[in-house]
Amino acid sequence: MAKVAFLGLGVMGYPMAGFLQKAGHDVVVYNRTKAKADKWCTEHGGTSADTPAAAAANCDIVLACVGNDDDLRSIVTGENGAFSTMKSGALFIDHTTASAKVARELAEIGTAKGIGFVDAPVSGGQAGAESGQLAIMCGGSEADYAKAEPIMNAFAKAMVRMGDVGAGQLTKMANQICIAGIVQGMSEALNFAEKSGLDPKQVAGLVSQGAGGSWQLANRADTMVDRKFNYGFAVDWMRKDLGIALDTAKEVGVSLPITALVDQFYADVQQLGGSRWDTSSLIQRLRHMQGEDVK
């Protein structure tokens, strides 16, 4: 078992760190709001630290799951950042959904210090984190990935090394592009079914058994019909992720017309007060356009 630190105890990081402790690792946690770290320790054991640097000191592995590029830079290379105390030969595993650019930037700094780096964004949402059934998309050297894999097994359903550092983040962008298009299509289909006099739940149940099926349809259709949008991954976060994907697409010369359109649809949902609704709330935009009260 390893001595590990986990930085960032949000809706994803909190249960992920718990699975590491349950697996028998010696876990120290850091969270910007210390009360949450103390709560985690009460529930799971382990210890908490006041800074990323203090958490990372003497650890073999440091994992992180924070908000965005700037948050990541802050906990890694900022004042009291993890890299200031990580020992040569240690490994940093980043589960943040961030840009490939920041992954490569931090990996380069880490290499100069003898620290390995794996970018490892996850898919599966809050439910996947809480059940330990996440899909993990990894970028890094073969040696660093081999070192990271047994640690991440604590909360993974599947994981694949997609290439060198940055490849994990690029794969997560592809994941979010898929979700955006799927959820918009579902929103239109369910709204169409409802307005046509069909039972939209019955439609979803049947369609999910055929070529129109998807994880989103199987897990979110009923809650979309019931107007329940408190299932973890918020619209604000999705817009952050789609912004990264759109910026990267420009850099590599790729057109993402559907993604750009759905991103604007999510902006409309934010205007309706849905910033913290989950991503399936795109259907609320259609209902609002039809004159329904969605607030």
pLDDT in tens, 124-177: 988 899 999 999 999 999 999 999 999 999 999 999 999 999 999 999 999 999
Last residue of a domain, one of 163, 192, 216: 163
Secondary structure (3-state) at 124: coil
Q: What percent of the chain has pLDDT over 70?
A: 100
| pLDDT above 80 (res 232) | no
**140 with 202, same domain?**
no
The alpha carbon torsion through 30, 35, 36, 40 (nearest 10 deg) reads: 80
Strand partners, 17: none
List, in order, residues 6 or more apart from 18 with CB less than 8 Å away.
Answer: 40, 43, 44
**133 with 181, same domain?**
no
Tell me the pLDDT band of 231, cut-offs 50, 70 and 90: confident
Tell me the pTM.
Answer: 0.95
pLDDT in tens, 236-270: 999 999 999 999 999 999 999 999 999 999 999 99
CATH code, domain with 208 = 1.10.1040.10
Q: Is residue 295 part of a domain?
A: no
**159 with 280, same domain?**
no
Active site amino acids: 172
pLDDT at position 6 is 98
Last residue of a domain, one of 142, 163, 184: 163
User: Please, what's the b/e burial string for 71-105 (b: 16 or more CB within 10 A of its CB; e: otherwise)?
Assistant: bbbbbbbbebbbbbbbeeebbbbbbbbbbbebbbb
Q: Contact, 24 vs 1, CB < 8 A?
A: yes
Q: Is residue 57 part of a domain?
A: yes
Tell me the pLDDT band of 113, cut-offs 50, 70 and 90: very high
**154 with 209, same domain?**
no
Q: What is the mean pLDDT of residues 180-200?
A: 98
Q: Contact, 205 vs 244, CB < 8 A?
A: no
**144 with 235, same domain?**
no
Q: Is residue 226 part of a domain?
A: yes
